[in-house]
């Protein structure tokens, strides 16, 4: 029968050898083809000798052999990630734990559940209330500028903390919840229980110069989502007050959202380049001002100092290169790099330096900063930079 003939044919030693050769060759061909495919399209990175297995190994040793109570597993993981990110050696590339990530987002949004007060640190590292916003919870409760915060919800403030993010996270929270704050005032400790409310954190302050009513001052403290809208309101009110020239105060402005800075620039520039962004792949992105700003021709002076950084340096650099304003003050900070914020699976964030900013004249900002047109060093008993700006603008108005 056919089946028997086939079986006996296959059992012949010659054909068995031939068949083995065909199978072996076919297998090698398939293996080669598969290897080529995966090398071209799906190469798995080689595992380093110091791989994540080492991390698990070290963690297991801690679990088995550590004498005292270990931190929570999530805290250990966050510390490991923070250490890994710190190893790249770039101060603007860093890891942010979930609670602190929320504080960052709230600050950039310009609104959050809080008490309505600005904090700062004194020379001793203590956390001080710098500003209490009128009609906000802190104001109503009786907190005052100069109060030293010593505890929040019974937990002592850690003055060794390098920044105030943890403290802000403790003070802020859900609207309607109570936060207990202990302050020191004139050597006495005072306890407050304050109900959190939605705080609209202003990023723009404006006023008319008392002795020069034709000159207005606009101070931008940070660039948030709401800053362009606040600037428009400031320009409207100062225009209604018959101001014919402006001082834009960017001193101590550490930056914020670059799109917000572009929006502000568009109030003063009628189109054209604001900045160039050099990407990590070597390409260049151009940011242009929109057309039709509300303060295009009036005289403008910009104040900067050593704490003027990031988005505020972009704005000052654009005005300088475009000859839209005279820049007055001291050398700026020199923070011209771009950080992409990646939100991770547990709500933590990874800030990664991925680009650099350049002025319209292609001048680098990172680690260099901007040199003002008029250098004015600060003085103890007066605002020398503001005085110089008012004098410069007054001369300009006299000549127009």
Task: Flag whether pLDDT at 121 surpasses 90.
Answer: no
Residue 152: what pLDDT? 97
Q: What is the pTM of this model?
A: 0.69
Are 329 and 385 in contact by the 8 Å Cβ rule? The answer is yes
* Active-site residue, from 267, 312, 335, 337: 335
Quickly count: other Cβ atoms within 10 Å of residue 373's Cβ: 15
74 is catalytic: no
Task: Tell me the H-state helices in the chain.
Answer: 2-10, 13-41, 52-65, 73-86, 98-109, 137-141, 165-171, 227-240, 258-265, 311-321, 384-398
The Cα–Cα gap between 231 and 299 comes to 16
* Active-site residue, from 260, 321, 337, 348: 321
Residue 232: what pLDDT? 96
Longest dimension (CA), the chain: 118
Greatest mean pLDDT among 12-26, 184-198, 334-348:
184-198
Task: Flag whether pLDDT at 11 surpasses 80.
Answer: no
Tell me what the mean pLDDT of segment 3-15 comes to: 35
- What pLDDT digit, counting tens, does each position of 179-219 carry? 999 999 999 999 999 999 988 778 999 999 999 999 999 99
Residue 9: what pLDDT? 33
* Active-site residue, from 203, 260, 266, 310: 310
3 state SS of 40:
helix
Task: Flag whether pLDDT at 60 surpasses 90.
Answer: yes
- The region of weakest confidence among 75-89, 113-127, 147-161, 316-330 is 113-127
Task: Flag whether pLDDT at 243 surpasses 70.
Answer: yes
Q: What is the CA radius of gyration of the chain?
A: 31
Task: Flag whether pLDDT at 250 surpasses 50.
Answer: yes
The Cα–Cα gap between 323 and 152 comes to 49
Task: Flag whether pLDDT at 14 surpasses 50.
Answer: no
Domains and CATH numbers, the chain: 111-200 (2.30.42.10), 204-398 (3.90.226.10)
Are 94 and 340 in contact by the 8 Å Cβ rule? The answer is no
Q: Measured between alpha carbons, how far is residue 323 from residues 221, 263, 301, 331, 385 in Å?
A: 23, 18, 11, 18, 19
Are 345 and 288 in contact by the 8 Å Cβ rule? The answer is no
Residue 111: what pLDDT? 57
Are 277 and 338 in contact by the 8 Å Cβ rule? The answer is yes
Residue 99: what pLDDT? 65
Q: Average pLDDT, whole number, for the chain?
A: 85
Residue 98: what pLDDT? 83
The Cα–Cα gap between 348 and 368 comes to 31
Are 204 and 227 in contact by the 8 Å Cβ rule? The answer is yes
44 is catalytic: no
Tell me what the mean pLDDT of segment 216-239 comes to: 95
Residue 102: what pLDDT? 60
Model confidence band, residue 28 (pLDDT cutoffs 50, 70, 90): very low
99 is catalytic: no
The Cα–Cα gap between 328 and 333 comes to 14
Residue 338: what pLDDT? 86
Task: Flag whether pLDDT at 231 surpasses 80.
Answer: yes
Task: Flag whether pLDDT at 40 surpasses 90.
Answer: no
The Cα–Cα gap between 251 and 338 comes to 20
- What pLDDT digit, counting tens, does each position of 286-329 carry? 999 999 999 999 999 999 999 999 999 999 999 999 999 999 99
Residue 162: what pLDDT? 62
Residue 31: what pLDDT? 30
Are 127 and 157 in contact by the 8 Å Cβ rule? The answer is yes
- The region of weakest confidence among 130-139, 224-233, 257-266, 363-372 is 130-139
Report the share of the chain in percent with pLDDT over 70.
84
The Cα–Cα gap between 205 and 379 comes to 22
């Amino acid at each position: 029968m056919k089946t028997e003939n086939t079986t006996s044919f296959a059992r012949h030693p010659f054909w068995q050898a031939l068949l083995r050769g065909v199978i072996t060759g076919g297998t090698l061909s398939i293996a080669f083809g598969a290897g080529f495919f995966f090398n071209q399209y799906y190469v798995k990175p080689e595992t380093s000798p110091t791989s994540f297995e080492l991390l698990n190994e070290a963690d297991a040793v801690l679990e088995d052999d550590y004498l005292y109570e270990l931190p929570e597993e999530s805290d250990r993981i966050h510390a490991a990630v923070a250490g890994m990110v710190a190893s790249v050696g770039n101060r603007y590339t860093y890891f942010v734990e979930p609670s602190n990530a929320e504080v960052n987002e709230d600050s950039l949004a310009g609104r959050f559940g809080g008490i309505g007060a600005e904090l700062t640190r004194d020379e001793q590292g203590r956390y001080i209330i710098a500003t209490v916003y009128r009609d906000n919870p802190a104001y109503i409760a009786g907190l005052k500028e100069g109060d030293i915060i010593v505890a929040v919800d019974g937990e002592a403030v850690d003055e060794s903390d390098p920044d105030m993010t943890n403290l802000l996270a403790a003070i802020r929270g859900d609207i309607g919840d109570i936060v207990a704050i202990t302050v020191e005032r004139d050597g006495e400790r005072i306890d407050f229980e304050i109900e959190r409310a939605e705080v609209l954190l202003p990023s723009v302050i404006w006023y008319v110069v008392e002795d020069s009513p034709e000159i207005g001052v606009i101070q931008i403290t940070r660039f948030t989502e709401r800053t362009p809208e606040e600037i428009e309101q400031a320009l409207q009110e100062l225009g209604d007050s018959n101001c014919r020239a402006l001082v834009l105060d960017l001193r101590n402005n550490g930056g914020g959202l670059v799109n917000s800075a572009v929006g502000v620039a568009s109030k003063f520039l009628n189109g054209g380049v604001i900045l160039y962004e050099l990407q990590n792949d070597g390409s260049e992105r151009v940011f242009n001002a929109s057309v039709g700003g509300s303060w295009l021709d009036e005289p403008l002076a910009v104040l900067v100092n050593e704490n003027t950084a990031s988005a505020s340096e972009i704005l000052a650099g654009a005005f300088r290169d475009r000859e839209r304003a005279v820049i007055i003050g001291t050398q700026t900070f020199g923070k011209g790099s771009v950080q992409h914020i990646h939100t991770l699976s547990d709500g933590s964030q990874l800030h990664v330096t991925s680009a650099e900013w350049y002025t319209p004249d292609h001048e680098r900002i990172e680690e260099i900063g901007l040199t003002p047109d008029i250098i004015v060093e600060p003085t103890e008993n007066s605002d020398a930079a503001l005085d110089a700006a008012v004098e410069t603008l007054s001369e300009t108005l006299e000549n127009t």
